């Protein structure tokens, strides 16, 4: 599990375009907006695949087989490597997915349930024990919500109940997203250009954080104008744009 200090450091690095260290195993690099729009970019498929959770995999298995697997027995990295072992084309694809975010050589070892980074002699391995931290680095860099860490000494029964609850919540969330407004990336690029953001060379993390900051500044300016015009201060919740934007 990533510590608070580690998470904050990853955010800083992601904003400036520096890679983040997965312990002493590898460095995970943030992607720029320009890279994700290249014709041969694997970004979308790579991120979706590498961020699969137990809940996502449970849905996939149910869709394929019509049967709901025991969610508590699912391990995302093991599922990916087992799938790669059964399909050579997916094995090559999965290797490319890891290489999207890791610049060193990647070797998949499905039989050992591990991913080798760099020279095999160095024994730098991504395994089930550290894969969730690898996923969390990707989530931070790509402005995805980090999963809440499981309780310490979680029992098998408690884990099963927690994952089933996450499964139900994910279905509700998907329905809410369908009903919500979606802004296309092309529109976001237009908005960012108006704000003066360098879309091509800005990391995904910095791109979305800067958009949020610019919007906060606009709202603050509008709030101040309304207050100066005599609006009821008890009905306007203003938050200074140059301060913390975390919800209080």
Residue 248 scores a pLDDT above 60 = no
- Residue 15 has which token pair? 């904003």
Q: For residue 39, what pLDDT is reported?
A: 92
Reported as a pLDDT band with limits 50, 70 and 90, residue 238 is confident
Q: What is the mean pLDDT of residues 212-238?
A: 90
The overall average pLDDT reported for the chain is 89
Q: For residue 160, what pLDDT is reported?
A: 65
- Residue 72 has which token pair? 């508590």
Q: What is the mean pLDDT of residues 114-131?
A: 96
Q: For residue 172, what pLDDT is reported?
A: 59
Reported as a pLDDT band with limits 50, 70 and 90, residue 10 is very high
Tens digit of pLDDT for each residue in 64-94? 899 888 888 899 999 999 999 999 999 999 9
Tens digit of pLDDT for each residue in 166-201? 656 665 565 555 555 678 999 999 999 999 999 999
Crossing angle for the helix pair 76-86 and 88-101, nearest 10 degrees? 140
Reported as a pLDDT band with limits 50, 70 and 90, residue 63 is confident
Cβ neighbours, 10 Å, residue 153: 6
| 181 or 113, greater pLDDT | 113
Q: From CA 244, how far away is CA 172, in angstroms rounded?
A: 30
Cβ neighbours, 10 Å, residue 12: 12
Q: What is the mean pLDDT of residues 32-48?
A: 95
């Amino acid at each position: 599990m990533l510590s608070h200090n580690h998470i904050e450091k990853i955010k800083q690095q992601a904003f400036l375009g520096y890679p983040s260290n997965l312990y002493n195993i590898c460095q995970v690099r943030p992607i720029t907006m320009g890279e994700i729009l290249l014709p041969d970019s694997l970004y979308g498929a790579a991120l979706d695949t590498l961020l699969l959770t137990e809940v996502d995999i449970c849905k996939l298995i149910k869709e394929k087989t019509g049967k709901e697997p025991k969610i508590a027995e699912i391990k995302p990295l093991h599922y990916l490597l087992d799938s790669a072992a059964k399909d050579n084309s997916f094995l090559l694809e999965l290797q490319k997915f890891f290489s999207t975010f890791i610049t060193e050589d990647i070797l998949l070892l499905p039989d050992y349930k591990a991913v080798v980074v760099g020279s095999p002699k160095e024994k730098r391995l991504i395994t089930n024990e550290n894969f969730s931290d690898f996923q969390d680095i990707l989530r931070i860099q790509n402005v995805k919500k980090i999963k809440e860490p499981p309780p310490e000494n979680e029992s098998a029964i408690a884990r099963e109940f927690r994952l089933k609850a996450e499964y139900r919540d994910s279905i509700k969330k998907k329905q809410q997203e369908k009903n919500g407004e979606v802004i296309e990336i092309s529109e976001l690029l237009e908005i960012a250009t108006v704000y003066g953001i360098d879309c091509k060379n800005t990391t995904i993390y910095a791109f979305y954080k800067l958009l949020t900051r610019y919007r906060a500044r606009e709202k603050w300016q509008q709030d101040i104008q309304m207050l100066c015009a005599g609006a009821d201060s008890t009905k306007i919740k203003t938050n200074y744009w140059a301060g913390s934007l975390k919800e209080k």
